[in-house]
Structure 1
């Protein structure tokens, strides 16, 4: 009975003491949840790091009282600097009335000058800190600072985190970009036999034909990949080169391939499925690589009126799409070999298939890769025509 009385007394004591002792907890209204973080190199010649933190700041629009449907969402930007990321982030406490919390940070943006300086120096904290999620997405800001991307994008109704989420959700439509997590960057930079890559974004003017006010609004655009040699930014690949990179990596989800029918009219083919295999081969003691790409497409648009749905014409179109894919893949392979950058990485496939051989050649991989024989083989098929089997007006004067 005495033990029960003691337990009840202790429970009452702890409950009553909660108002005084929070045991490390913080009230939610005293926490500032960061959604996106920008990392920049100081532009005054010092070695300082600039950290920018973006949070959602929802306020009722003027003239409304507590009407959430009329609220406007803005970015609340906090900026500080320090000799390291840790110091810069801690310095935010000097002027923030809330505890800045990075456990919900979904995006880490790195400015171009920071990436050129030393990528590892700027992202080490985000790999190391226990609060930050390892699935936070990393992006390089091409030709600009991360602070500019956080502060100046779009209009006051668009929050940069929401915009980045929308962009990355559409990455498969063109297959010229990808989603890379902070843990992936750590693994790439830690693997000495490959050149790391990180998707990048670019600030561009709005794509409007008129010369009105909207044409001056800046927008964010997915802009291929930033490539690294060691820890420093080397350059960028965009558009067809970036798609070729994804062909080799097996990361193509969709996209459009434009070919010509025998009469010279354009036909658009939508990529519906693709698969890539990188196969190392050892013949007579000599290493070579075969890259086999299989894809299927559907006819999504026909510019002319000629009936193209005949076996000989479909074979003609399939040959063209195979040549297109092969060129895109061979162009990025040539670029990688000329600059001695195994960005794929092919070295890992060699290690997986020939581990004993890899142990004997890994120290010379930088000498082997530029002269490595790599063949690209494409196998494609055009599957469907969607709802219409023949072009519109194909029956007028067209022999069937």
Structure 2
């Protein structure tokens, strides 16, 4: 046999030895029926005597968790979901302990939601998120939420008691977030990026437990952070004013009155926001321009409002309503020296040379920044009827 034939035989022999020797090695592979797929995880400060301890809650639609309980961890299930709870000195230690309370291996690759209890949010939040950014199995596009006035564990327990799955509830809430435009969804990677930018004050959407027959959880605006600690919350009109500036208003209701005092409701159909830095005589000004359209959805009266001068009046009223919402959140942000809007990024990207000269003094510049708001709108249509009910129009 020639040299080439010898080479082929040697390669075949080596391959046979490798495959024979590795027949019992799985290379980390786990069958799917041996996995407990987690969909949501919660992080809290532990209530134990150890003030530095971390409590972790994790929920899965699977029901393979055991019912064992110890002083450090527990697992339980009800309906179509499972809940595991554990504590540890660090997030990783608490998470590792969870694995001892499941028949199957915990799989973190499908975690869609990370819930942070209020006490943990007050205590240097990035330290609790570091593991979720660092671990290779977790996804950077998981959504982060702050639990207002409560713990993440309480949210999980509430949904377990109601025999609902927390992941399904949150998914449905976020599907309808645009109807009122007082919240938003933010990814883990986006939030950690805000914490890394010292010019921006971080904001994270929050949820709240409520006592209503058919609803136990609601989206409740945004949690605001100063440096790395929870500062406070903005809800309702303040939260929508914030979304106006961010250009994140999809829909919503604007309630105004016409010249006769009739209440008129208008549905926001579309909106667009532009933030423009302007430099004049070495001074920086910020111009915010908001464009939006509405449809008339309700007239609580009988007077005809569908004349040009009346519609122009309503147009002015809805523009003033939006401007007031925006001005309130801007005043709040400047009073507390919190650039939650990312105006520093707008200056950085649109006026890079000027930004280099002021970036080190942004915390002194932002509170005194001249920010003007311009609002322009249209009223498009009236849906299926034009005149108000019992207005007498069209009746002989």
Q: TM-score, normalised by structure 1?
A: 0.89
Equivalent residues in 2 for 1:277-296 (5 A)? 277-296=274-293
- For the residues of structure 2 that align with 1:238 and 1:154, how far apart are their CA atoms? 27
Are 2:339 and 1:328 equivalent residues in the alignment? no
Match of 2:125 in 1: 119
Match of 2:302 in 1: 305
Matched-pair contact (CA < 8 Å) for 1:154–1:218? no
Are 2:192 and 1:195 equivalent residues in the alignment? no
Equivalent residues in 2 for 1:378-393 (5 A)? 378-393=375-390
Match of 1:54 in 2: 59
Match of 1:210 in 2: none
Which sits farther off after the overlay, 321-330 or 379-388?
Answer: 379-388
Deviation of 1:307 (Å) = 1.9
Change (3 A) 1:247 1:6: same
- For the residues of structure 2 that align with 1:86 and 1:5, how far apart are their CA atoms? 49
- For the residues of structure 2 that align with 1:362 and 1:398, how far apart are their CA atoms? 67
Aligned pairs, number: 378
Moved over 4 A (4+): 1-19, 396-399
- For the residues of structure 2 that align with 1:7 and 1:268, how far apart are their CA atoms? 79
Which sits farther off after the overlay, 195-204 or 15-24?
Answer: 15-24
Matched-pair contact (CA < 8 Å) for 1:74–1:156? no
Equivalent residues in 2 for 1:16-165 (5 A)? 20-45=24-49, 46-57=51-62, 73-153=79-159, 155-165=161-171
- For the residues of structure 2 that align with 1:202 and 1:150, how far apart are their CA atoms? 12
Q: Deviations over 1:42-83 (max 9, x none)?
A: 123420111111001369xxxxxxxxxxxx943311111111
Deviation of 1:285 (Å) = 1.3
Q: Partner of 2:270: helix, strand, or coil? A: strand
Which sits farther off after the overlay, 308-317 or 73-82?
Answer: 73-82
Equivalent residues in 2 for 1:159-174 (5 A)? 159-174=165-180
Matched-pair contact (CA < 8 Å) for 1:307–1:398? no
Deviation of 1:85 (Å) = 1.0
Q: Which runs of 5+ in 2 are unaligned?
A: 65-77
Q: Deviations over 1:6-54 (max 9, x none)?
A: 7777777777777622121112121111100000011234201111110
Are 2:240 and 1:243 equivalent residues in the alignment? yes
Q: Partner of 1:193: helix, strand, or coil? A: coil
Q: Partner of 2:62: helix, strand, or coil? A: strand
- For the residues of structure 2 that align with 1:18 and 1:388, how far apart are their CA atoms? 75
Q: Deviations over 1:270-322 (max 9, x none)?
A: 10111001111111111111110011101111212222111000001000000
Q: Partner of 2:210: helix, strand, or coil? A: strand
- For the residues of structure 1 that align with 2:9 and 2:205, how far apart are their CA atoms? 63
Match of 1:362 in 2: 359
- For the residues of structure 1 that align with 2:137 and 2:211, how far apart are their CA atoms? 36
Q: Which runs of 5+ in 1 are unaligned?
A: 60-71, 207-214
Matched-pair contact (CA < 8 Å) for 1:260–1:317? yes
Change (3 A) 1:190 1:398: farther
Matched-pair contact (CA < 8 Å) for 1:177–1:199? yes
Deviation of 1:391 (Å) = 2.0
Match of 1:346 in 2: 343
- For the residues of structure 1 that align with 2:28 and 2:394, how far apart are their CA atoms? 81
